[in-house]
Amino acid sequence: MSSGDVDELEKDVFFTLLETANRMEACYEDGLGRDPTLEGYVPVNLVYDGLGNVTDVKREPGTLKDDAVVACALAVIRTTRFPASKHDVSARTHLHFSLE
């Protein structure tokens, strides 16, 4: 895989996750109902296959302390369809949640 392919895949992941912003925001707003000061980030590793289907998603330790928000966000990612690729894709990203 060339560096150009990697750059294109990073863009695909970024823009695909950007399209989920409304669903992610709904997860966060539920958490704000429980804790109005809630903010933080969650590192996420995800893998999707050549058809764009998520095959694995895992969280790593982060600063967001609301497990329900994290579970909701991971569920959003699990149901997200990524662009098709010639290869299975493994990506790591941070999901940031704040009032900013």
Residue pLDDT, tens place only, 83-94: 887 777 777 776
pLDDT of residue 26: 95
Give yes or no for residue 99 having a pLDDT over 70: no
Helix axes 67-78, 21-34, angle to 10 degrees: 170
Q: What is the pLDDT of residue 7?
A: 66
pLDDT above 50: residue 2: no
Task: Residue 17: name the closest of 52, 64, 61, 67 by CA.
Answer: 52
CA-CA distance, 74 to 53, in Å (whole number)?
14
Compute the average pLDDT of residues 51-74: 92
Give this prediction's pTM: 0.81
| pLDDT computed for residue 1 by the predictor | 44
Dihedral of CA 7/10/16/21: which sign? Answer: negative
Q: Is the C-alpha dihedral spanning 26, 33, 57, 41 positive or negative?
A: positive
CATH class of 3-97: alpha beta
Q: Which two tokens stand for residue 11?
A: 């863009």
Half-sphere exposure of 68 (CA within 13 A, CB side): 11
Instruction: Please tell me the least confidently modeled range out of 3-7, 25-29, 44-48.
Output: 3-7
